Structure 1
């Protein structure tokens, strides 16, 4: 009777927990669709305050009544513009000036020297923020579509920003839907149950809703800056990691249902056995992500807390809501393959993973040497990676309106027209700075901003505008503003004007923002990667109560990371034909691959240590591998598939990150965790736990348990 009463109380507690979480989910659910309302995608807002481009942006405020972002509406007729075309441009320009958010009056249309193109510079008020997209959409509506051989496109920084925002709006819908479908299909395959898949999927959805609430209010109150990239990563990370944690807990629960008659007792034991590994895994990811707070870029600093909040919410839900759901489902949750109470030990003598364990036992040294050499060979591909800031035409996987417009501008104008570099210098050195700038290769023209606020002067007698003793010059570049050539020109331009004595020159503008962003990314990579490695080593040492094992585990994951980069380099270059990777790619790939890749080693080695205490190290390695092999492989496939969902967004940066994480996770799951780590641990034996007491326990000196080795 006491047992039944205890079971009844457990069911009641589980019911209360589930109902409580359902109320939370009902309140939090709508916020997952509102994250786009508090996201910003302006690169300038992510720069460090001490960057030269940021200083230039601050200085520019005194030279204009309003800070603006230019849209370039460009018309092209390769046979030559007609009077009707010119009339249409003038008519459109007049209507552009009446659009709310456009700063009037507009500069006059600029006709190309070959008279095959004309562009209208439309300055858009920066205070409009994310409304820039709506202004650009209105400009595109007014300009209309191509007509009788006259093409029209809206490009420039505002056009590019509008296209980026349009891409990121897909996060709230298509990306979330694709992620859900991918997880659902894999869970159906893994569990082969019409019921069980619902539990982890419902828990993952609850995690995403809870995380969305916190991220929404943090971004709304300017505690963090949320951008579309962080929003997309949050979606796949929560569903991927959440499903991983669910798989681990459910597998342990199924195992304990064979040993315990009452589901409550089985869940208590399963929770105690799995919670430590899940918490250690989550803590590793959270702390690694929070290392991004050391970044000098606000965008990186934002991604760290956003993703960390997602993992924290996932841990909370998976260790409370999911166990309560499973307890309510009991054995029926596993229908039609319900686990029976038969007091069976884990099945290590049958199945594919027992055969893998047997193979590792017989060829341990050969296995880890061969796998290490193969991974090392893949690292050679890193030389083909190439880190570069992707140009506007390279940023998207499809040809957007802003890309087409930039190509037209490049054909008929100095490609930097409409998005010049801005130079701020003291009034007394303005002439010398202008001469120095004109002598820089890649600079087509240099003109001062006049009292009328135009970069001119059309009137040779117009005086430069002076603000606080400074003059603003505008340098038109010969290359497109987002190209490598333009970035080289900015670096050369800065070197030239900085050499002018007493000038105190500062160079900014769209291209300068890209240059400073790339420099900050390099600095962040050099600082954050070593910190992440040290933090993970500390967590592993505390979890495994050893020093040698954490060092070896980190070494294997770093090797896997470098091999993934090498493999990605070959895929990006020869399969996808991508021109390169963005400066932020290596850092993001490292943080996610190392933090998530170490998860599988944590899941494996925490179980190996548990079994080593009972059976001895070598037997513990083989038992741990055989018992966890199926669930960890399933978890890796789920995480790889969810990150692959980023490919639905037509943005090269996110496609590359999704592919890299997917490949890296599969390498970690199938090669590192299944072969390299077990074989290395088996070969080293008890010393793997040095300097703990377990390293001095020589319960067994040699080989695998008979049943495992025979199964091999």
Structure 2
């Protein structure tokens, strides 16, 4: 049945039917599927067990539920404000009242050191959510009007950060897609050395990416998944990276068969029958690994797994159905000017760089393994000082208004002024809850507020900057203090932005502890079934894990010493692990499935040399393309995406250029037939293959 499908896809006439059918199907899906746009900024979606989530749910029933606030800050770059500055600030703070739901509340407050001023602008939350950027622009324009030279105004707080994050993702899809297409096109031209061949894989992968976006968008709402711009960006990068990898593998095998077979349909049939299982297994491993994210607590993690798993499946289908048909229809001329022609068998296996490399590794496998292990170990030392969790001001690159203003507030006012912590306590325990909060080190002030549904709201201002370790420690102490009490006060819960960030970090750690073992188990099972071995999966997984820790160490050193990132963002480690392990296994599968195929004819050692000779160039090309595509994530001014891009880029290059081409072959040469245990031993040079 499978062979009949491959034959239909690769047939000279039926290939046309496959292409036409693909175009019609894609056109119908684009026109018929509903279009849903994701949020402009990422959301976390905490579980219901989170105190922060419980506070948000309870606050939605309070009279002030429809209220939010913007924070406007004025400063003269640290210099003391003049009398003229103070007069202008007071005037503009009053003008901000025209945009506020509580005009009198916008009066300016000046810092004790006289270097800054602040205005809290109450706003309607629903109106802000509908047009964050419009609201932010109106506030900035009003605050900056008629200011003396050298006096600057900045917008921060929830509205300010939301607007800056929204701006960071503005046009993200188009920007990422354009740069990704350019990068892939350039690398394909270099790889194929053809001015025309690159066009076909790029169009096929581009169609897969476009269709993936439409399908994911249409299915998200029915499945209760919330998408955002960051997920859309990662989806495009993953589809382009994985799709191009699969295309490179198929084209390489197709070209190899064109050197042996005159009929291009017959050559493609052999190519898809040989490379198809490896591509399907590789893509299936990535998709299944992504699906494990559906078990995550954080809604953002579940959304990423849902979207990217669908994207990878679509990339596999296009690589195994549309691309083979397109290559057959275009014929050998597509490879111009290096058109593959049938050559003598002996000429097909002239020793090249990869053959010489394989034989060199086979002569000193223990030394090479030791050197590789030392090199990987040195990179892993970069994990010294490793930490997870960025403060709010560290999550955006550059100096957006919200970050600059928060730094001014940290210096001249209470650091926690712009990010209030909310405590909800039973009405009859409000006094006791206030006393407990005031006794906690790290709490600057406690202000009792409104009551609703038997709960009283306490607004707590912290001494530490929003999202900092100090703020998290204070939140933890508050919660512990209330939990230790009996009676009504023991039912007090703590929420707000800092509490949300803390709960997000806690849930991310829980997701990491659950998802990483699941991914490793899935990868092990797939490798064991595909390679029919129990030893090979262990060694291959060990190599992938070594690559992950080495890339994490190297990236940590770069982040701290070169880029100035004090820590990894919350979900970066999990996402980097997922992409590196799942995609790294791709190259394991490409190499070892070919090695197993060659082993049947030439034995384990010679089979690995021939497998490296056949796949070395394509694996290297695929790795460079994938690394470059993920590096594109760094074009967006978001630290989390930059970190993911850098880690995966370094990891893929290390995996491609060192682990897969040197270390794995060396392990095979050391273990020999034991590598394939419990598969039966194959005698070296069992039969003479081509060129033997």
TM above 0.5, yes or no, is yes
Q: How does 1:305-324 map to 2 (within 5 A)?
A: 305-324=306-325
C-alpha distance 345-50 of structure 1, shift in aligned 2 (>3 A): farther
What are the ranges of 5 or more consecutive residues in structure 1 without an aligned counterpart?
Answer: 1-5, 98-102, 451-464
C-alpha distance 84-573 of structure 1, shift in aligned 2 (>3 A): closer
C-alpha distance 546-411 of structure 1, shift in aligned 2 (>3 A): same
Cα deviation, residue 50, structure 1: 0.9
Cα deviation, residue 157, structure 1: 1.3
- Using the alignment, how far apart are the partners of 2:258 and 2:68 within structure 1? 63
* Secondary structure of the corresponding residue to residue 82 of structure 1: helix
Cα deviation, residue 604, structure 1: 0.2
Cα deviation, residue 419, structure 1: 2.5
- Using the alignment, how far apart are the partners of 1:90 and 1:240 within structure 2? 53
Q: How does 1:44-83 map to 2 (within 5 A)?
A: 46-76=45-75, 78-80=80-82, 81-83=85-87
C-alpha distance 355-551 of structure 1, shift in aligned 2 (>3 A): same
Cα deviation, residue 623, structure 1: 0.4
Aligned residue in 2 for 1:392: 392
User: Is residue 553 of structure 1 aligned with residue 519 of structure 2?
Assistant: no
Aligned residue in 2 for 1:335: 336
User: Is residue 472 of structure 1 aligned with residue 472 of structure 2?
Assistant: no
Aligned residue in 2 for 1:107: 105
- Using the alignment, how far apart are the partners of 2:183 and 2:29 within structure 1? 23
Cα deviation, residue 325, structure 1: 0.8
C-alpha distance 506-126 of structure 1, shift in aligned 2 (>3 A): farther
Q: How does 1:149-160 map to 2 (within 5 A)?
A: 149-160=150-161
Tell me the TM-score normalized by structure 2: 0.93
Taking only aligned residues, the RMSD between alpha carbons, in angstroms, comes to 2.5
Q: How does 1:671-710 map to 2 (within 5 A)?
A: 671-693=658-680, 696-699=681-684
User: Is residue 482 of structure 1 aligned with residue 467 of structure 2?
Assistant: yes
- Using the alignment, how far apart are the partners of 1:568 and 1:356 within structure 2? 29
- Check conservation: 2:180, 2:237, Cα contact below 8 A: yes
Q: Residue deviations 1:282-328, cap 9 Å, x none?
A: 00000111111121111111111111111011001111111111001
- Check conservation: 2:296, 2:511, Cα contact below 8 A: yes
What are the ranges of 5 or more consecutive residues in structure 2 without an aligned counterpart?
Answer: 1-6
- Using the alignment, how far apart are the partners of 1:412 and 1:312 within structure 2? 53
C-alpha distance 106-531 of structure 1, shift in aligned 2 (>3 A): farther
- Using the alignment, how far apart are the partners of 2:555 and 2:652 within structure 1? 13
Cα deviation, residue 104, structure 1: 5.2
Q: Residue deviations 1:500-525, cap 9 Å, x none?
A: 32211100001100000011111111
- Check conservation: 2:209, 2:315, Cα contact below 8 A: yes
Cα deviation, residue 172, structure 1: 1.7
- Using the alignment, how far apart are the partners of 2:219 and 2:39 within structure 1? 11
C-alpha distance 684-420 of structure 1, shift in aligned 2 (>3 A): same
- Check conservation: 2:41, 2:169, Cα contact below 8 A: no
- Using the alignment, how far apart are the partners of 1:9 and 1:634 within structure 2? 25
Q: How does 1:173-322 map to 2 (within 5 A)?
A: 173-221=174-222, 223-322=224-323
- Using the alignment, how far apart are the partners of 1:32 and 1:397 within structure 2? 36
C-alpha distance 7-563 of structure 1, shift in aligned 2 (>3 A): closer
Aligned residue in 1 for 2:503: 516
Cα deviation, residue 89, structure 1: 1.6
Cα deviation, residue 32, structure 1: 12
Q: Residue deviations 1:596-654, cap 9 Å, x none?
A: 11110100000000110121111111100111000010000000000010111111111
- Using the alignment, how far apart are the partners of 2:651 and 2:134 within structure 1? 39
- Using the alignment, how far apart are the partners of 1:507 and 1:281 within structure 2? 45
Q: How does 1:515-664 map to 2 (within 5 A)?
A: 515-664=502-651
Tell me the TM-score normalized by structure 1: 0.90
C-alpha distance 681-438 of structure 1, shift in aligned 2 (>3 A): same
- Using the alignment, how far apart are the partners of 1:32 and 1:336 within structure 2? 41
* Secondary structure of the corresponding residue to residue 425 of structure 1: strand
